[in-house]
Amino acid sequence: MEGKNANSNSNVKIMRAAIYETFNGPIAIQNVEDPTPNDEGVVVKVKATGMCRSDCHGWMGHDADIKLPNVPGHELAGKIEAIGKNVRNFKRGDRVAVPFVCGCGSCD
């Protein structure tokens, strides 16, 4: 989706996301800037996700790793939209599922 960022007059790519800006605060669907993958990463266009118990703990402020604002939903399925320049095992359009725990594949 192309559109105008609320904080800018230039056209930027935006996406819709569920987001909360305070712990225990409201969760709302908002337009946010599309992410860009780093050299070893991918961007997934999410087709299905949900909030699980650990998302609820994050929303309540029980997880020190959660930074605000936060987009919950770390278990998801979708299609790869963009890939970093060093990614070799995936291509744009691949269908993927991301489980609760996923390693980087670099550890022994």
| Average pLDDT value for residue range 44-73 | 93
Q: Does the pLDDT value for residue 10 go beyond 70?
A: no
Q: 82-102: per-residue pLDDT in tens?
A: 999 999 999 999 999 988 776
Sequence spans of domains, the chain: 2-98
| Average pLDDT value for residue range 72-86 | 95
SS3 54: helix
8 A C-beta contact, residue 15 and residue 32: yes
8 A C-beta contact, residue 22 and residue 60: no
For domain 2-98, say whether CATH 3.30.2320.80 is its number: no
pTM as predicted: 0.76
Q: 11-51: per-residue pLDDT in tens?
A: 788 999 999 999 999 999 999 999 999 999 999 999 999 88
